[in-house]
Amino acid sequence: MANNTDGIDPALLGLLQNEVKMSRTKSWSGIETAAYYGPDKRDVDYDTKLGNPGEYPYTRGAYPEMYRSRMWTLRNIVGYGAPEDTREGLLKTIAAGGNGINVVGDPPTTQGIDPDHPAIGPEVGLEGCSLPTMRDMERLLAGVDLAKIDTAWHWSTTAYALVAAVHSHRGQSLNTLQGSNMPDMLQETLSGWGQKVVPAAFGHRNAVDQIEFCTANSPKWALGIPQAYDLRERGLSPAGEIAVGMAIVIKTMEDLVVRGVSIDRAAAGIAWVSISDVDFFEEVAKFRALRRFWARTMKERFGATDTRALRLRIACHTSGRSLVYKQPLNNLTRTAIQSLAALCGGVQSLEACTYDEPVCVPTHEARDLAIRQQQILANEIGAARVADPLGGSWYIESLTDTVEAEAVAMLEKIEKIGVIEAVTNGYIEQIMDDYNLTVQRELDLNERIVVGVNQFVPENDPVPTRFRFDPTNTRIHLQRFSELKQQRDRTSWEAALRHLHDTARGGGNCTQASIDALIADVTVGELWGTLRVANGYAYDPYGAVEAPIRYNA
Amino acid sequence: MTVRCLLGMLGTDVHSKGIRTLAQVLRDAGIEVIYLGEHNSVAGMVRAVIDEDADIIGLSFSSAAYLEYIRQFVTAMRENGVGSVPLMIGGLIHPDDHLPLQEMGISGIFGPGSRMDAIIDFVRNKGGSLQ
Amino acid sequence: MNGIPPRAAAVLAGDHRMAGRLITIAEAGDTDIEPELGVLYRAGGSSRIIGITGPPGAGKSTFLDCLISRLRSLKRRIAVLAIDPSSPLSGGAVLGDRVRMQRHAEDRGIFIRSMAARGALGGLAHAAGDAVTILDAMAFDDIIIETVGVGQSETDILGLADIVILMQTAHGGDGIQSVKAGILEIADIIVVNKADTVGTDRMIRTLQEMVAHRIQTAAGWDTPVLPTEATNGAGIDAVLDAIDAFYRCRGANREATMQRDRRRMRARILTLAQAALRHRINILTEPSLLAAIDAVISRVMEPREALKLLVFPANS
């Protein structure tokens, strides 16, 4: 975070000020605590399976002091309508205490579809911010120095290219660019996007391109992979999260190593995007097993030696799927415990769902409560005081081992098929569908009780508020988009598009060409469609739009 | 008579785990599910209703764009002579929209908190029609 | 159009909706449409009827999706009958082939119908034959029947298709053991999909050897074994060429073709007989059926006696 606040939009100063702080290391009653607790005598088991926090295999935590040296980042997500709309929501969040900008793009943007696509008009700006061009990204980030302020983007490859394009266009060097996004496209194929929107091999290649590029050019840009939050929500157990996530990571690392990136560099820039589901103990066990699995894999399989490669950082978002529609205030209980699990599990960043998540687009009041919840956890509950507070519990250690063992078995089966094939041929999809069917059956038979769903169901439904935003800005945005397409410099636009196509055809890394294309006013839909064509797919996955040029002409 | 139920989603929506699970639950209840998955266009889905002679259609939505899509879909169904096929909607449907949806001819609305057995009964009875 | 039942007339005029409706009625075993089927059958005979079968996971739907694209680019009008197994426990089914052909969803030159096997032994729905009759009368250039190769007799497809394409892959490491003897004997074209899989070359060679040693499915026809990668369309053109060549061969060998068609029709009529019998028993009211079954269990009756009583009652 910056010390120098000159030249920054005053409304954004809030970003730099309201961190979640550690206010005391004493317990509430005044007992002083240590950074962590362990056995009086360390035995071989402890050394090989656990280690102290910050020690290989990092089961007990990535850092020795954990939250004493650095609290988790408090983030909240914004994103709706046109760039101007999101900017407004963004500023309100900062005023409430969030210190990281976290933006979600609307489905067309995240799928690489332009807002003027004939079939998806009703969806523009509804679930996130419409950001189809570099200029729109510039509008959103006006006054935000990307070298000083950490921006997190909740989608995959085009997010980095758009932000990098803005940064470059401002004359700044990419190696000063701060922020993060989630270049995991295999997860998208699995989580409902399907082969139609993200063909597995194509998506994966793109993800590896971005990671290779960032590792070399934007070392301060964090890469969230795997995006295991969506994988879990789609339908996986904690062991499944580790197995499928590691399958994706291993394949990605192998591809990067083939391209000449050292494993130490590649793995160091990665953070695992995880989830905290509703079983407190199972999730704590999962985070621990995950770190151990990661460390051992990096060391034994890839020969990594750098601490930063061996020690996994975890970003966590509490589960939306676990929240219940009826009597939504109960979700405050759920999210608080899930957040506590994440902290006992040692995550580096935490986003909690709002209690009204299943009911409506989060109200500002609900957002406030979500932030206060974390501040209560930090200051009153003592959640951050001690690293791995549940370490040494017989239950937790047993669960940790069991989750790990299940993950090992699942991963073996996936690797036998090959992860790309397992994604393409429906093997992993079937695991997920089976998981969901089991859960549904158990709910129907009352073998699994969820309060407000199959037991203790209140008579009355909640009254959802409606998130209404003025569509005026979106209309202007669409108009402006259309005008841009008319008025942009056609020569440089076309040259950029051809160069992108040719780079992709030639098997090269497409990230720089993507950035250059966006600077030349190529739209996100044109960018993605061109890459698709170069890889042998139809320009538009929805089959309604033709390519804007003939690439082989 | 075996009921043939078409299940699918329109637009960019990726949240299909609900209809995937529903497809299997309906199968286990003896229904033949014609599963169309994600990313269908209105025109494409209407063609499916015609060729498949569906007894009942289920559309699932997790985005707030559903009113507009449903309007387009109902219009297209009528224009293509299949306006009488019962239609049920599931997903994140806001209570304020129940009335406009019913006025459009939607006979089954299964918003958040709906029970599987209610949906199964609805489908088995083809939305309560006398077919 | 004197004397033609209006529903048949609608189908002959190309009404997809009516065709869909009639297929549903046929599936229900409703004899109400026999007059229509009579008219439509007589009007048909111009479509190529192509059967595609093979184990689950072979990529049939993806292959079919490619095939349709190619055929459509040649301006051919296509009908697809995608048949999936019914759950033996519940009788329901998830029919998920159509979803893989989504890019053709708006193409009016295509008709796609999903069907559940509904307990048919070979995995082929009883009403499939009627569906073919209905679609054939609409002058589609190609009617493609896709079935999953499960159960004892995939050979049911012989009763319907002019040409049988078997799809396999080298996946699963089972190799040749996974290819069931029965289906190999009737395959006119064998496609080895996912040709980029390790073991494909070996599988192709083994299959070539096996077909060389068995009886030809058609006079003058050597069953080719063709590699494809349906995900990118590689090898599809060779399959199309083989299909065309097969039909030329049919045309050039009239007598042999006639023999084969006779075998096909015989199989079709036997299938209809089975269906009729099954229908006859199914429409019996519960009590009489139960009474007969109980009588057999308590050995008051031998099973065949019960059958005669149920199906050919003395006073019918």
Could you tell me the CATH number of the domain that includes residue A423? 3.20.20.240
Strands C189-193 and C163-169: parallel
Q: Which of residues 11-30 of C touch B (CB under 8 A)?
A: 16-17, 19-21, 23-24, 27-28
Q: Please check the confidence at residue C36 and state whether its pLDDT lies above 70.
A: yes
What is the least distance, in Å, from the CA of A207 to any CA of chain C? 21
Domain membership of residue A103 (yes or no) is: yes
* Residue entry with tokens 């301006």: C75
The whole-angstrom distance between residue C284's C-alpha and the CA centroid of its chain comes to: 28
Which helix (H) or strand (E) segment is A223 a member of? Answer: strand A221-227
User: Is A243 in contact with A411 (CB distance < 8 Å)?
Assistant: yes
User: Of B35, B47, B53, which has the smallest distance from its Cβ to C95's Cβ?
Assistant: B35
B105: amino acid identity, one letter: G
B112 upstream amide cis, omega within 30 of 0: no
Tell me the two tokens of residue A73: 């980042």
pLDDT band for C143, please (50, 70, 90 cuts).
very high
Q: Which residues of A touch C232 (CB under 8 A)?
A: 536
pLDDT band for C300, please (50, 70, 90 cuts).
very high
**Residues β-bridged to residue A455:** A451
Tell me the two tokens of residue A123: 């969806």
Contact C232 A536 (CB under 8 A): yes
The whole-angstrom distance between residue A293's C-alpha and the CA centroid of its chain comes to: 20
Q: Within chain B, which residues score under 70 in pLDDT?
A: 128-131
Of the ranges A321-330, B65-74, C142-151, C191-200, which one carries the lowest mean pLDDT score? C142-151
User: Is A456 in contact with B86 (CB distance < 8 Å)?
Assistant: no
Which residue segment(s) compose the domain that B36 sits in?
Answer: 4-124
- Where residue B120 sits, what CATH number does that domain have? 3.40.50.280
Tell me the two tokens of residue A164: 């990098």
Chain C: residue whose CA lies nearest to B19 = C94
The whole-angstrom distance between residue A457's C-alpha and the CA centroid of its chain comes to: 33
pLDDT band for C166, please (50, 70, 90 cuts).
very high
Burial of C173 (0-12, 13-18, 19+ CB in 10 A): exposed
What pLDDT score does C269 carry?
Answer: 86
What pLDDT score does B72 carry?
Answer: 96
User: Is C71 in contact with C50 (CB distance < 8 Å)?
Assistant: no
What pLDDT score does A32 carry?
Answer: 95
Burial of A17 (0-12, 13-18, 19+ CB in 10 A): exposed
Domain membership of residue B96 (yes or no) is: yes
pLDDT in tens, B80-101: 999 999 999 999 898 889 999 9
Contact B82 C17 (CB under 8 A): yes
* Residue A395: Cβ within 10 Å count: 11
Question: pTM for the whole thing?
Answer: 0.90
User: Is C260 in contact with C270 (CB distance < 8 Å)?
Assistant: no
CA dihedral A511, A513, A519, A520 (to 10 degrees): -150
Those chains having 3 or more beta-carbon pairs within 8 angstroms of chain C are A, B
Task: Assess B61–A contact: CB distance below 8 Å, yes or no.
Answer: no
What pLDDT score does C181 carry?
Answer: 67
Q: How many residues does this entry show for chain C?
A: 316
Round to whole Å and give the CA distance between B109 and B114: 9
Round to whole Å and give the CA distance between C156 and C81: 14
Interface test with C, best of A421, A429, A434, A537 (most C CBs within 10 A): A421
Q: What is the mean pLDDT of residues C111-116?
A: 96
Helices assigned H by DSSP within C33-163: 34-43, 60-73, 128-136
Domain membership of residue B130 (yes or no) is: no
Interface test with C, best of A424, A433, A540 (most C CBs within 10 A): A424
Round to whole Å and give the CA distance between A240 and A238: 5
* Residue A549: Cβ within 10 Å count: 15
Task: Assess B11–A contact: CB distance below 8 Å, yes or no.
Answer: yes
- A32 phi/psi in degrees, rounded to 5: -75, 145
Contact C106 B34 (CB under 8 A): no
Q: Which residues of C touch B45 (CB under 8 A)?
A: 105
Round to whole Å and give the CA distance between A480 and B26: 47
Q: Which of C148-157, C180-189, C191-200 has the highest mean pLDDT?
A: C191-200
Task: Assess B118–A contact: CB distance below 8 Å, yes or no.
Answer: no
Domain membership of residue B131 (yes or no) is: no
Q: Within chain A, which residues score under 50 in pLDDT?
A: 1-8, 13-18
CA angle A547, A548, A549 (to 5 degrees): 95
User: Of A123, A324, A463, which has the smallest distance from its Cβ to B63's Cβ?
Assistant: A123
CA dihedral C172, C175, C179, C184 (to 10 degrees): 140
CB hemisphere CA count around A499 (13 angstroms): 16
Domain membership of residue B20 (yes or no) is: yes
Round to whole Å and give the CA distance between A162 and A137: 7
Domain membership of residue B11 (yes or no) is: yes
* Residue A103: Cβ within 10 Å count: 26
Task: Assess C87–A contact: CB distance below 8 Å, yes or no.
Answer: no
Write b or e for each residue in B79-116: b if 16 or more Cβ atoms lie within 10 A of its Cβ, otherwise e. Answer: eeebeebbbbbbbbbbeebeeebeebebbbbbbbbbeb
Contact B50 C105 (CB under 8 A): no
User: Of B12, B21, B42, which has the smallest distance from its Cβ to A107's Cβ?
Assistant: B12
Count of B-C CB contacts under 8 Å = 89
CB-based contacts of A175, cutoff 8 Å, min separation 6 = A217, A218, A219, A220
Task: Assess B17–A contact: CB distance below 8 Å, yes or no.
Answer: yes
Tell me the two tokens of residue A228: 């295991």
SS3 A547: coil
Contact A444 B39 (CB under 8 A): no
Tell me the two tokens of residue B58: 């289920």
CB-based contacts of A137, cutoff 8 Å, min separation 6 = A83, A131, A162, A163, A165, A166
CA angle A411, A412, A417 (to 5 degrees): 95
Q: Please check the confidence at residue C198 and state whether its pLDDT lies above 50.
A: yes
* DSSP string for A224-244: EEEEHHHHHHHH--HHHHHHH
User: Of A192, A326, A543, which has the smallest distance from its Cβ to B113's Cβ?
Assistant: A326
Q: Which residues of C touch B2 (CB under 8 A)?
A: 27-28, 91-92, 116, 118
What is the least distance, in Å, from the CA of A471 to any CA of chain B? 13
* Residue entry with tokens 């590029």: A213
Tell me the two tokens of residue B100: 């406009």
**Residues β-bridged to residue B91:** B61
pLDDT in tens, A397-456: 999 999 999 999 999 999 999 999 999 989 999 999 999 999 999 999 999 999 999 999
Tell me the two tokens of residue A18: 């309201």
SS3 A23: coil
Task: Assess C32–B contact: CB distance below 8 Å, yes or no.
Answer: no
Contact B20 A433 (CB under 8 A): yes
Q: Which residues of B touch C99 (CB under 8 A)?
A: 35-37
pLDDT in tens, C236-266: 999 999 999 999 999 999 998 999 899 888 8
Domains: count for chain B: 1
* Residue A504: Cβ within 10 Å count: 24
Round to whole Å and give the CA distance between A55 and A52: 5
Round to whole Å and give the CA distance between C103 and A286: 40
Contact A119 B117 (CB under 8 A): no
Round to whole Å and give the CA distance between A206 and C314: 74
Inter-CA distances, A197 with A157, A426, A502, A508, Å = 14, 15, 22, 22
Which residue segment(s) compose the domain that A67 sits in?
Answer: 16-444
What pLDDT score does A360 carry?
Answer: 80
CB-based contacts of A101, cutoff 8 Å, min separation 6 = A15, A78, A90, A94, A144, A149, A150, A151, A152
What pLDDT score does A94 carry?
Answer: 57
Contact C99 B36 (CB under 8 A): yes
* Residue A68: Cβ within 10 Å count: 18
Contact C231 A425 (CB under 8 A): no
Interface test with A, best of C61, C69, C103 (most A CBs within 10 A): C103
Those chains having 3 or more beta-carbon pairs within 8 angstroms of chain B are A, C
Round to whole Å and give the CA distance between C55 and C174: 12
Task: Assess A320–B contact: CB distance below 8 Å, yes or no.
Answer: no
Domains: count for chain A: 1
What is the least distance, in Å, from the CA of B102 to any CA of chain C? 25
Task: Assess C56–A contact: CB distance below 8 Å, yes or no.
Answer: no
> If you ran DSSP here, which 8-state letter would residue C224 be given?
P
Task: Assess C108–B contact: CB distance below 8 Å, yes or no.
Answer: yes
Q: Which of residues 1-60 of B touch C (CB under 8 A)?
A: 1-2, 4, 23-24, 26-37, 39-41, 43-45, 47-48, 50-53
What pLDDT score does A17 carry?
Answer: 40
Task: Assess B25–A contact: CB distance below 8 Å, yes or no.
Answer: yes
Round to whole Å and give the CA distance between C26 and C128: 9
| Average predicted confidence (pLDDT) for chain C | 87
Round to whole Å and give the CA distance between C79 and C63: 15
Domain membership of residue A512 (yes or no) is: no
Helical packing angle, A280-296 and A394-417, nearest 10°: 60
User: Is A109 in contact with A155 (CB distance < 8 Å)?
Assistant: yes
> If you ran DSSP here, which 8-state letter would residue A76 be given?
E
What pLDDT score does C123 carry?
Answer: 62
The whole-angstrom distance between residue A537's C-alpha and the CA centroid of its chain comes to: 27
Q: Which residues of A touch B95 (CB under 8 A)?
A: 461, 463-464
Count of A-C CB contacts under 8 Å = 8
Q: Please check the confidence at residue C153 and state whether its pLDDT lies above 60.
A: no
Contact A192 B15 (CB under 8 A): yes
The whole-angstrom distance between residue C170's C-alpha and the CA centroid of its chain comes to: 24
Interface test with B, best of A116, A120, A444 (most B CBs within 10 A): A120
